[in-house]
A and B are shown apart, each in its own frame.
Chain A
């Protein structure tokens, strides 16, 4: 134990003793505790006030929580295979994980963002980015299923993503690792001036369809985080960048040398106009575009070629750099769109920029110089103010819509509340421990809900019962409705939530789908009734159109399957009621089970390897006769001539 932590421990122990010695205090604090408990207590059968959607980080998924109870409601598979439902294992969903590199069974999900209309959350979709193999996903908030994934070519480390503009016009992707663009075989230490940092703009159609519109081929810095302008600054996007040193090794030292890095201010509307008028050049770029169709219950993956690349210097007045101290991380825009908060993570101050001043500086050509031909605006003349000495290691800021901002400090492990305009610090609360991102439901829109704040911590240590060396991450819920923040609840989170999005529950809960209409099922292998169930052989491929209803499969006895066959089980759940899924699993299948929702069809493949009679069964306790929901498949030798036969209750 080093000296510093001994001191901290000594102070903590003495604080504990002082508290214990004071009976009155204990009484007060227990009264306080009970009111805190009431604030997070959601009675049995009642619903939470907010949905919280947390990124799963290295789980590749999104987890859904009820706020304020902190109860986990669901894990939505997005970028990772999920054997619980068969996502990424079923024939229908395997294409969702296809990329230009082939099938990638895993992803690193980072920053969820909910669709907006006029700068307010509308609850149609939630988007999330994948960092490792750059991708953006769109998840329906009616079905809570991933409906679309688009890969971002020419990019590496899609971190400054997936933030959307205030009418869900565009969603952005960045590149956290400068890379050769186009990729080529070259010495790493020659990166300076040769690598690029393309920023991608993906348009979103009214039906949600994503389209990679263009890539802005920026200088090769590391683009870390971003946020759209809103209100008066709608039409602009702001990206933080670090490693403006363009170091290629030992970045923790070599990328920390410049006194200031940059925020890139991008007038995307201007560039969209430029591209619409034929601007930009088509460059190479191979990427997968995967779309899940709710009617066929099937995803298709299309590999696309080429992307429009725009040189930022070709569009006069569209791209500027603003100096910001010390390797910034978060880049957050307040609800009015007036202020842009940059968090220099190695700085002790927070720099806040004024959108109007940025516009004036641009109009006056108030430049400090340029970086690769991109004008650098004056730091002093764009600055709105500095929050002095708020803490150590500022990362992210969210807003409550009442003129206050809340910033997380990783190193000093706290959330600090401060006032926009006066830059005074109003309150600070410790987090447990080392907070990364924070989320206020709607805190990233024109109308934050401003009641709760959730801190997502990177370090858990002793917060819960120990579970060996590997721990879940920890989140803290604060009540921010009063002048001071009040810590209400601790709850573990799955994977590593890098960011979260929250929304008032009533905006989406009535639209939540209960089941799929069987009559609208357009799956090519659907069996809409037991009469449609069948088995067909095509060479060594066998397709079984099977139905499931409480509590049997049809057919449930199949003969004439041979070793070496490729057997496709196409399962249709005939139920048309809320919460009556059926599962399916086959002994020895090298895939997963599949969980089939009412009205849905899903397919899993089995390649029988041994002769015999092999059972299959329903994996979801569906009814009182769930244990009876089973069947047999007779597997004969490769060259046998057992006739194909399938029956139910013969």
Chain B
């Protein structure tokens, strides 16, 4: 049970990496942007890959009528997400210590993981909803109004995960370091549950 609890502590502590490293990365490539232009999505806001990338993405997007990228105070997510992630990390660490000191059931670890997965899916859903709005809610006075073959307005929504051609750009949207740390941490908490569960059974037998 000792090693399972330590894994639980480490696993949930890895969530704290999101306070340092970005969660997600969106990069745009085009011939006239040989080194790309893009942004990292952090828990508490957007940061350009290069110093002025956000401003330059806004500059490009104004042609097609997309709204400006949100500032931290313009989206509730950027203040709530840090509290959720921080809270879950502390809760997980607490569970780990309880496992270490009081020998609570490893089912608590599984419970934490299920809660974390639910929150993660909700987060992704919310993120995708924002991107749909960002990519389709266009200024009616847009300089360029592009339509598809059926005459419907083009969507400029970046992919949630993967690569997509958007006009002259190729957009890449992938998890960044913070997300990988979180994923690995969640995997560790599952191992913690599995290991703890196995030990419990051994003890009982």
A550 at the B interface (CB under 8 A): yes
**A residues near B56, Cβ cutoff 8 Å:** 576-577
B59 at the A interface (CB under 8 A): yes
A151 at the B interface (CB under 8 A): no
Q: DSSP majority for the B interface?
A: helix
The minimal Cβ–Cβ distance linking B28 to chain A, given in whole angstroms, is: 13
Say whether A576 contacts B51, CB under 8 Å: yes
Say whether B143 contacts A625, CB under 8 Å: yes
**Which parts of A592-650 form the interface with B (CB within 8 Å)?**
624-625
- For the complex, give the distance between the alpha carbons of A577 and B32 in Å: 12
**A residues near B55, Cβ cutoff 8 Å:** 576
- For the complex, give the distance between the alpha carbons of A576 and B52 in Å: 6
The minimal Cβ–Cβ distance linking B141 to chain A, given in whole angstroms, is: 10
B127 at the A interface (CB under 8 A): no
B63 at the A interface (CB under 8 A): yes
**A residues near B52, Cβ cutoff 8 Å:** 576-577
Counting chain A CB atoms within 10 Å of each CB, which of B52, B55, B56, B143 scores highest? B52
- For the complex, give the distance between the alpha carbons of A625 and B52 in Å: 22
With A576-B51, A576-B52, A577-B52 as known contacts, state yes or no: A624 contacts B59, CB within 8 Å. Answer: no
**A residues near B63, Cβ cutoff 8 Å:** 624-625
Say whether A550 contacts B59, CB under 8 Å: yes
**A residues near B51, Cβ cutoff 8 Å:** 576
A549 at the B interface (CB under 8 A): yes
**Which parts of A509-550 form the interface with B (CB within 8 Å)?**
549-550
**Which parts of A535-576 form the interface with B (CB within 8 Å)?**
549-550, 575-576
The minimal Cβ–Cβ distance linking B64 to chain A, given in whole angstroms, is: 11
**B residues near A625, Cβ cutoff 8 Å:** 63, 143
**B residues near A624, Cβ cutoff 8 Å:** 63
Say whether A549 contacts B59, CB under 8 Å: yes
**B residues near A549, Cβ cutoff 8 Å:** 59
A569-592 vs B, CB cutoff 8 Å, 1 = contact: the mask equals 000000111000000000000000
Chain B, interface size: which category? under 10
The minimal Cβ–Cβ distance linking B145 to chain A, given in whole angstroms, is: 14
**A residues near B59, Cβ cutoff 8 Å:** 549-550, 575, 577
**Which parts of B11-64 form the interface with A (CB within 8 Å)?**
51-52, 55-56, 59, 63
Q: Output the nearest chain A residue to B143 by Cβ-Cβ distance.
A: A625
- For the complex, give the distance between the alpha carbons of A577 and B55 in Å: 9
- For the complex, give the distance between the alpha carbons of A575 and B63 in Å: 15
Counting chain B CB atoms within 10 Å of each CB, which of A549, A575, A577, A625 scores highest? A577
**B residues near A576, Cβ cutoff 8 Å:** 51-52, 55-56
Q: Output the nearest chain B residue to A575 by Cβ-Cβ distance.
A: B59
- For the complex, give the distance between the alpha carbons of A364 and B175 in Å: 79
The minimal Cβ–Cβ distance linking B51 to chain A, given in whole angstroms, is: 7
- For the complex, give the distance between the alpha carbons of A633 and B52 in Å: 33
- For the complex, give the distance between the alpha carbons of A576 and B143 in Å: 21
**Which parts of B40-93 form the interface with A (CB within 8 Å)?**
51-52, 55-56, 59, 63
**B residues near A550, Cβ cutoff 8 Å:** 59
The minimal Cβ–Cβ distance linking B150 to chain A, given in whole angstroms, is: 25
**B residues near A577, Cβ cutoff 8 Å:** 52, 56, 59
- For the complex, give the distance between the alpha carbons of A594 and B92 in Å: 62
The minimal Cβ–Cβ distance linking A462 to chain B, given in whole angstroms, is: 40
- For the complex, give the distance between the alpha carbons of A576 and B48 in Å: 12
- For the complex, give the distance between the alpha carbons of A550 and B62 in Å: 10
Q: Output the nearest chain B residue to A550 by Cβ-Cβ distance.
A: B59
- For the complex, give the distance between the alpha carbons of A577 and B51 in Å: 9
Q: Output the nearest chain A residue to B35 by Cβ-Cβ distance.
A: A578
Q: Output the nearest chain B residue to A628 by Cβ-Cβ distance.
A: B143
- For the complex, give the distance between the alpha carbons of A549 and B63 in Å: 12
B131-152 vs A, CB cutoff 8 Å, 1 = contact: the mask equals 0000000000001000000000
The minimal Cβ–Cβ distance linking A293 to chain B, given in whole angstroms, is: 22
- For the complex, give the distance between the alpha carbons of A524 and B56 in Å: 26
- For the complex, give the distance between the alpha carbons of A575 and B62 in Å: 14
The minimal Cβ–Cβ distance linking B68 to chain A, given in whole angstroms, is: 13
Q: Output the nearest chain B residue to A514 by Cβ-Cβ distance.
A: B50
The minimal Cβ–Cβ distance linking B69 to chain A, given in whole angstroms, is: 15
Q: Output the nearest chain B residue to A45 by Cβ-Cβ distance.
A: B34
- For the complex, give the distance between the alpha carbons of A575 and B52 in Å: 9
Counting chain B CB atoms within 10 Å of each CB, which of A549, A550, A576 scores highest? A576
The minimal Cβ–Cβ distance linking A231 to chain B, given in whole angstroms, is: 41
The minimal Cβ–Cβ distance linking B71 to chain A, given in whole angstroms, is: 15
**Which parts of B148-164 form the interface with A (CB within 8 Å)?**
none
- For the complex, give the distance between the alpha carbons of A575 and B60 in Å: 11
- For the complex, give the distance between the alpha carbons of A312 and B52 in Å: 57
- For the complex, give the distance between the alpha carbons of A565 and B63 in Å: 37
- For the complex, give the distance between the alpha carbons of A577 and B56 in Å: 7
The minimal Cβ–Cβ distance linking B7 to chain A, given in whole angstroms, is: 44
- For the complex, give the distance between the alpha carbons of A549 and B56 in Å: 11
Q: Output the nearest chain A residue to B144 by Cβ-Cβ distance.
A: A624
- For the complex, give the distance between the alpha carbons of A96 and B143 in Å: 42
Q: Output the nearest chain B residue to A598 by Cβ-Cβ distance.
A: B52
- For the complex, give the distance between the alpha carbons of A576 and B59 in Å: 10
The minimal Cβ–Cβ distance linking A317 to chain B, given in whole angstroms, is: 56
The minimal Cβ–Cβ distance linking A573 to chain B, given in whole angstroms, is: 12
Q: Output the nearest chain B residue to A518 by Cβ-Cβ distance.
A: B52
A329-371 vs B, CB cutoff 8 Å, 1 = contact: the mask equals 0000000000000000000000000000000000000000000
Would you mind naming 13 contact pairs between A and B with Cβ atoms under 8 Å apart? Answer: A549-B59, A550-B59, A575-B59, A576-B51, A576-B52, A576-B55, A576-B56, A577-B52, A577-B56, A577-B59, A624-B63, A625-B63, A625-B143
7 additional A-B pairs beyond A550-B59, A576-B55, A625-B63, beta carbons within 8 Å, are A549-B59, A576-B52, A577-B52, A577-B56, A577-B59, A624-B63, A625-B143
Give B contacts to A, CB under 8 Å. Answer: 51-52, 55-56, 59, 63, 143
Q: Top 8 nearest A-B pairs by Cβ distance? A: A576-B52, A577-B56, A576-B55, A550-B59, A577-B52, A625-B143, A576-B56, A624-B63
